[in-house]
């Protein structure tokens, strides 16, 4: 029987959203404005791919995923913070995200900055708290926290983002483009998969294989994101053509649409090789990887 990805993604999304709702203070908590802004962006309707990948990786080794839901939520918080800040006028200056007006359009710039800051700090608070409450192995918790910090900071998102901004409207090489995509996008996706394996107590060799898988699908994911900015439809939730308008460094701009698509597919094929030892336990990860390059949103 083939794997029911749509059902799996819908069920996982619900579990993650219910957990996010539990972990975040209610909207009427004082001072209401910041809680409203945080919840507005968190519940604006993302795919929840990073937490879903983390849980799928954890479940290769263990079934009690409830113990690590806080870590899955922390990944979504870091991701959402990065989107809020990326949309700010000082960065990409975007009006729509996830089909809704961006945070600064609704709450103003200062509140949007603070909502991003809050989500970033809350992510780390939540992981540390869960480590204590769930009785997880302290060394594994510290390792997982380290991996998330590493993927969000100077070795990850932030360095990808600064180069993305620097190269706007300028010449760039394929090496520079790959640096941007590896840091801006692949680093958090790779970390999501790695953290799942770390928390599940996987062996170093297994963690490494999953990390290699994550790096490749992360890069493929961003190439698809570049492609969708050109050919995407209504489901995308944001206007198409914005990369071209801003003269962003993208794969289609450098290689053309066909070659970009081939590159994304080849990366996913390479990624699959790293899952061979996990046999059918890695079927959800394979199905998600296929979805990432076939998606319309």
Residues in the site for ligand GRG, rule: CB under 6 A?
A: 46-47, 49, 79, 82-83, 85-86, 98, 157-158, 161, 184-185, 222, 225
Smallest distance, Å, CB 27 to ligand GRG? Answer: 20
Smallest separation (angstroms) from ligand GRG to the CB of 220 = 11
**Chain residue whose CB lies nearest ligand GRG:** 46
Nearer CB in complex with ligand GRG: 50/140: 50
Cβ proximity to ligand GRG, 86 vs 212, nearer residue = 86
Q: Which residues contact 189 (CB under 8 A, 6 or more apart)?
A: 49, 50, 53, 214, 217, 218, 221
Nearer to ligand GRG, 144 or 220 (CB): 220
Nearer to ligand GRG, 43 or 61 (CB): 43
Tell me the three-class secondary structure of the chain, residue by residue: CCCCHHHHHHHHHHHHHHHHHHHCCCCCCCCHHHHHHHHHHHCCCCCCHHHHHHHHHHCCCCCCHHHHHHHHHHHHHHHHHHHHHHHCCCCCCCCEECCEECHHHHHCHHHHHHHHHHHHHHHHHHHHHHHHHCCCCHHHHHHHHHHHHHHHCCCCHHHHHHHHHHCCCCCCCHHHHHHHHHHHHHHHHHHHHHHHHHHCCCCHHHHHHHHHHHHHHHHHHHHHHHHHHHHCCHHHCCCCCHHHHCCCCCHHHHHCHHHHHHHHHHHHHHHHHCCHHHHHHHHHHHHHHHHHHHCCC
CB of 274 to ligand GRG, least distance (A): 21
- Of 132 and 154, which CB lies nearer to ligand GRG in the complex structure? 154
Least spacing, CB of residue 83 vs ligand GRG, in Å: 6
The minimum distance between CB 205 and ligand GRG, in angstroms, equals: 29
Nearest CB to ligand GRG, comparing residues 113 and 200: 113
Distance of CA 248 to the CA centre of its chain: 20
Minimum distance from residue 9 beta carbon to ligand GRG (Å): 11
Q: For ligand GRG, which is the closer residue by CB, 83 or 287? A: 83
Quote the least distance from Cβ 257 to ligand GRG, whole Å. Answer: 17
């Amino acid at each position: 029987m083939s794997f029911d990805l749509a059902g799996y993604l819908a069920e996982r999304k619900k579990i993650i959203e219910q957990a996010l709702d539990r972990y975040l203070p209610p909207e009427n908590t004082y001072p209401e404005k910041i809680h409203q802004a945080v919840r507005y962006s968190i519940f604006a309707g993302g795919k929840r791919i990073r937490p879903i990948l983390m849980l799928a990786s954890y479940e290769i080794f263990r079934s009690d995923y409830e113990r690590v839901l806080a870590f899955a939520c922390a990944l979504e918080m870091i991701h959402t913070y990065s989107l809020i800040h990326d949309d700010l006028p000082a960065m990409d200056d975007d009006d729509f995200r996830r089909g809704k007006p961006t945070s600064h359009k609704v709450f103003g710039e200062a509140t949007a900055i603070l909502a991003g800051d809050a989500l970033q700090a809350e992510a780390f608070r939540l992981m540390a708290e869960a480590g204590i409450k769930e009785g997880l192995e302290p060394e594994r918790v510290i390792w997982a926290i380290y991996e998330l910090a590493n993927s969000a900071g100077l070795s990850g998102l932030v360095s990808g983002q600064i180069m993305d901004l620097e190269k706007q409207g300028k010449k760039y090489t394929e090496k520079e483009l790959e640096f941007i995509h590896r840091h801006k996008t692949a680093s958090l996706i790779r970390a999501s998969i790695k953290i799942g394996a770390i928390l599940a107590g996987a062996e170093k060799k297994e963690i490494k294989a999953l990390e290699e898988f994550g790096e490749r699908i992360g890069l493929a994911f961003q190439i698809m994101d570049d492609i969708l900015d050109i050919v995407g439809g209504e489901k995308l939730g944001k206007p198409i053509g914005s990369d071209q308008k801003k003269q962003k460094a993208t794969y289609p701009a450098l290689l053309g649409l066909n070659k970009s698509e081939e590159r994304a597919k080849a990366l996913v094929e390479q990624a699959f090789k790293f899952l061979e030892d996990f046999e059918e336990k890695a079927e959800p990860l394979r199905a998600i990887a296929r979805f990432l390059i076939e998606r319309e949103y």
